[in-house]
């Protein structure tokens, strides 16, 4: 080879390498932290039953409040002026009135409030101290009534009442004998089904009318269930998600009076199926939904399928598209989009004019081109289970020897899914790879996978997380000397367990409202959790029968093994994970001589809802992770 040809060949190879590495060396935009965690400009759109008004949540004095706008008009009315805490769920009770729930400082004792669409006549419809209210049925066909349950009579159990939203009058329609864990209404708003539990066994009760006594139709161990979704349109049978005689829950049609399965509508070989959707107006089943690595749909109605195909054509097939609301006539729809890199947008679709109108981007200050993909992954646990999860890699870096944040989800009987996660995108923007995994016990993967988690807190469940870390190291993605772990609730427990039981694996940890001591956790749970305690004892361990196990898996008893730095955050009024859980782990580590940054928010509960508290938490977490994982801030 001549010198000239050698130089040309070397030049071509160099150009090829540069092109290959271009995706790694592209410029990275450092996004302001608050852009990830501030309240959206507008979100949670709803439409009035008559289709004449739109409502949404938007900030007022840094708190999300309800605003109403007549369709086609520029006039906007703020109907609430709450300044102590963001509002969460709300809905149109009728064409003139909206209902919303509100607690105090995160105590989860929710009251139901009503306000008219002009912002007048605001009233607390359930003004009872230390009582929490749940909506059972919105009673769409009854403009002045709603069906609620509350623990007013007995703090441990919930009775059902018809609430007149105009007068505030309450009428009990079902008294809980002490073991009812859930109620199901028919399409006329009548309570026809009750689910009971003794903590271990679950029964399905049925009655023909509200005047008849309930009769037990079926009793199973809590590991098996038939979960009623809704009645057939003639109110004779039910559609349900059932894992009776199968590992994965399937959508079935069930004769509730005789306790017989009539038909399997849909089942999937790999995941549970829970979602069944219908049109109340046309009385037709429309679609079935389930989640593999992301949401999937099976269409049962050609008109609904055509609508989604049209929306996909206009909005893009790479987005998740969800119909979030419609008017009573079902000819005006609210559509929400999102993806792993965007909180998406809201749209208004008028079926009559076939017009799709964009209402707002949820977070227009975030450019999805600056964000990164959340990629599905899987790996094998040490005992052979397939663990599914998601890996998010930082932009502008070769995926080798990266600082990593392991992020186990809460629950633990929940799961991570594909979509926009502000925490994950924030961490990736700061140069960290983020691994989320659906360890054993995560929901959606069948009965056997769920049961594999029983009495395995801190043991095989934690091994699944550890095996994910080892997979990242073996793949060369993770720098073994720069691995942190962060999680909330059960994820906070998993953080503490990771530092205590695998002390050489993690460089640091962040515990957000996590359990540290199973004994004190049980003692401090809200009264209305007590009917489920036996169930928890079966799945996690009993403080009496399994006391040695609880000592073994409670991180607070193993602080002598913890050597990595830890940052702890807690809401003072958390009713689920009492502040004592964080207090005692912090105190135990301080006695050991370890400096534990500890953030307590006086006006929060199980997680920080108010944005100034979110800002404080994530700013502190960023400094902590950067300090201990030695990651360069972009």
Q: Is it the case that residue 633 has pLDDT exceeding 50?
A: no
Q: How far apart are CA 539 and CA 493, in angstroms?
A: 16
CA angle 28/31/32 to nearest 5° reads 150
Residues 333-372 have pLDDT tens digits of 999 999 999 999 999 999 999 999 999 999 999 999 999 9
The CATH number that domain 120-361 falls under is 2.130.10.10
pLDDT surpassing 60 at residue 407: yes
Q: What is the DSSP letter of 228?
A: E
* pLDDT of res. 199: 80
What is the rounded CA–CA span in Å between residue 100 and residue 111? Answer: 8
Check: pTM over 0.85? Answer yes or no. yes
3.40.50.1820, 3.30.565.10, 3.30.930.10, 1.10.580.10: CATH of 368-629: 3.40.50.1820
Domain boundaries of the chain, sorted by first residue = 120-361, 368-629
Whether pLDDT at 21 is above 90: no
Task: Using the CB atoms, write b or e for 500-515: b if 16+ within 10 Å.
Answer: bbbeebbbbbbbbbbb
Q: What percent of the chain has pLDDT over 70?
A: 95
Residue 23 has pLDDT above 50, yes or no: no
> From CA 30, how far away is CA 44, in angstroms rounded?
28
Residues present in the chain in total:
634
pLDDT tier at 31 (50, 70, 90 boundaries)? very high
> Within a 10 A sphere around the Cβ of 29, how many other Cβ atoms?
12
Across 487-492, average pLDDT: 97
| Per-residue model confidence as pLDDT tens digits over 200-237 | 899 999 999 999 999 999 999 989 989 999 999 999 99
Residue 437, beta-bridge partner list: 389
Nearest to 54 by CA among 347, 351, 356: 347
Confidence of residue 631 (pLDDT cuts 50, 70, 90): low
3-class SS of residue 182: strand
Which one of 111, 268, 573, 606 is the catalytic residue? 606
Tell me how far apart the alpha carbons of residues 505 and 63 are, in angstroms, rounded to a whole number.
40
Alpha helices (runs of H) in 403-546, residue ranges in sequence order: 422-429, 447-451, 460-474, 490-501, 518-523, 533-539
27: pLDDT strictly greater than 80: no
- Pair 186, 136: CB distance under 8 Å: no
Cα–Cα distance list, 143 to 68, 164, 533 (Å): 19, 9, 38
User: What kind and span of H or E run contains 622?
Assistant: helix 611-629
Of 20-29, 37-46, 84-93, 538-547, the poorest mean pLDDT is in 20-29
pLDDT at 518 over 80: yes
What is the rounded average pLDDT of the residues 47-58?
A: 97
Catalytic residue among 574, 582, 628, 631: 574
How confident is the model over 263-293, as pLDDT tens digits?
999 999 999 999 999 999 999 999 999 999 9
* Residue 254: closest CA among 308, 287, 293, 218: 218
Q: Is 606 a catalytic residue?
A: yes
User: What is the reported pLDDT for 200?
Assistant: 86
Active site residue 489: yes
pLDDT of residue 630: 79
Closest CA to 507 of 397, 410, 625, 620: 625
Q: At residue 110, does pLDDT exceed 90?
A: yes
- 111-116 vs 97-102, strand pairing mode: antiparallel
Cis omega (within 30 of 0) on the bond before 334?
no
Catalytic one of 55, 363, 489, 582? 489
Q: What percent of the chain has pLDDT over 90?
A: 88
Average predicted confidence (pLDDT) for the chain: 93
On the 0-12 / 13-18 / 19+ scale of CB atoms within 10 A, 206 is buried
Distance CA 372, CA 434 (A): 11
**What is the enclosing helix (H) or strand (E) of 584?**
helix 579-591
Residue range 436-460, pLDDT digits in tens: 999 999 999 999 999 999 999 999 9
Average pLDDT (295-311) is 96
Q: Report which secondary-structure segment, H or E, holds 313.
A: helix 302-315
């Amino acid at each position: 080879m001549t010198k000239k040809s050698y130089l040309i060949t070397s030049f071509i190879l160099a150009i090829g390498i540069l092109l290959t590495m271009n995706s790694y060396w592209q410029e990275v935009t450092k996004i302001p932290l608050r852009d990830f965690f501030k309240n959206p400009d507008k979100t949670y759109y709803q439409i009035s039953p008559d289709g004449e008004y739109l409502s949404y949540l938007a900030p007022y004095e840094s708190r999300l409040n309800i605003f109403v706008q007549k369709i086609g008009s520029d006039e906007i009315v703020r109907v609430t002026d709450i300044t102590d805490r963001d509002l969460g769920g709300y809905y149109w009770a009728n064409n003139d009135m909206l209902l919303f729930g509100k607690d105090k400082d995160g105590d989860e004792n929710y009251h139901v409030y009503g306000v008219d669409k002009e912002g007048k006549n605001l009233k607390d419809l359930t003004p009872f101290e230390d009582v929490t209210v749940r909506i059972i049925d919105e009673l769409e066909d009854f403009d002045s009534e709603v069906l609620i349950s509350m623990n007013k009579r007995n703090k441990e159990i919930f009775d059902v009442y018809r609430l007149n939203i105009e007068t505030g009058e309450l009428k009990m329609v079902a008294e809980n004998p002490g073991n009812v864990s859930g109620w199901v209404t028919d399409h006329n708003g009548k309570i026809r089904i009750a689910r009971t539990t003794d903590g271990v066994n679950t029964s399905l009760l049925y009655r023909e009318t509200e005047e008849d006594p309930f009769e037990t139709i079926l009793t199973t161990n809590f590991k098996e269930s038939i979960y009623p979704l809704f009645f057939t349109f003639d109110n004779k049978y039910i559609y349900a998600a059932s894992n009776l005689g199968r590992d994965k829950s399937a959508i079935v049609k069930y004769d509730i009076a005789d306790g017989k399965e009539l038909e399997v509508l849909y089942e999937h070989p790999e995941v549970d199926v829970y979602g069944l959707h219908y049109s109340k107006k046309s009385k037709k089943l429309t679609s079935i939904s389930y989640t593999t690595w992301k949401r999937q749909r099976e269409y049962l109605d050609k008109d609904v399928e055509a609508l989604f195909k049209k929306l996909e054509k206009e909005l893009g097939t790479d987005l998740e598209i969800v119909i979030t609301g419609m008017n009573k006539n079902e000819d005006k729809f609210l559509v929400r989009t999102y993806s792993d890199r965007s909180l998406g947008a809201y749209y208004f679709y008028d079926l009559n004019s076939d017009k799709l109108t964009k209402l707002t981007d949820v977070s227009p200050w975030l450019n999805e081109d600056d964000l990164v993909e959340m990629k599905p992954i899987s790996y094998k646990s040490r005992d052979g289970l397939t663990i599914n999860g998601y890996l998010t890699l930082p932009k502008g870096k070769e995926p080798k020897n990266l600082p990593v944040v392991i992020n186990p989800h809460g629950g633990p009987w929940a799961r991570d899914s594909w979509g926009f996660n502000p925490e994950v995108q924030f961490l990736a923007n700061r140069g960290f790879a983020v691994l989320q995994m659906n360890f054993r016990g995560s929901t959606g993967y069948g009965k056997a996978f769920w049961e594999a988690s029983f009495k395995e807190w801190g043991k095989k469940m934690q091994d699944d997380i550890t095996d994910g870390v080892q997979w990242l190291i073996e793949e060369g993605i993770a720098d073994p000397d720069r691995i942190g772990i962060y999680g909330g609730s059960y994820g906070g427990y998993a953080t503490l367990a990771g530092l205590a039981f695998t002390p050489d694996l993690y460089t640091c940890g962040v515990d957000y409202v996590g359990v540290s001591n199973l004994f004190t956790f049980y003692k401090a749970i809200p009264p209305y959790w007590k009917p489920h305690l036996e169930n928890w004892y079966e799945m996690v361990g009993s403080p009496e029968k399994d006391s040695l196990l609880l000592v073994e898996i409670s991180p607070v008893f193993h602080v002598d093994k913890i050597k990595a730095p830890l940052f702890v955050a807690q809401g003072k009024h958390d009713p689920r994970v009492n502040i004592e859980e964080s207090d005692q782990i912090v105190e135990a580590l301080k006695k050991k001589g370890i400096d534990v940054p500890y953030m307590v928010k006086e006006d929060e509960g199980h997680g920080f809802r108010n944005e100034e508290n979110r800002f404080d938490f994530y700013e502190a977490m960023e400094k902590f992770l950067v300090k201990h994982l030695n990651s360069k801030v972009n």
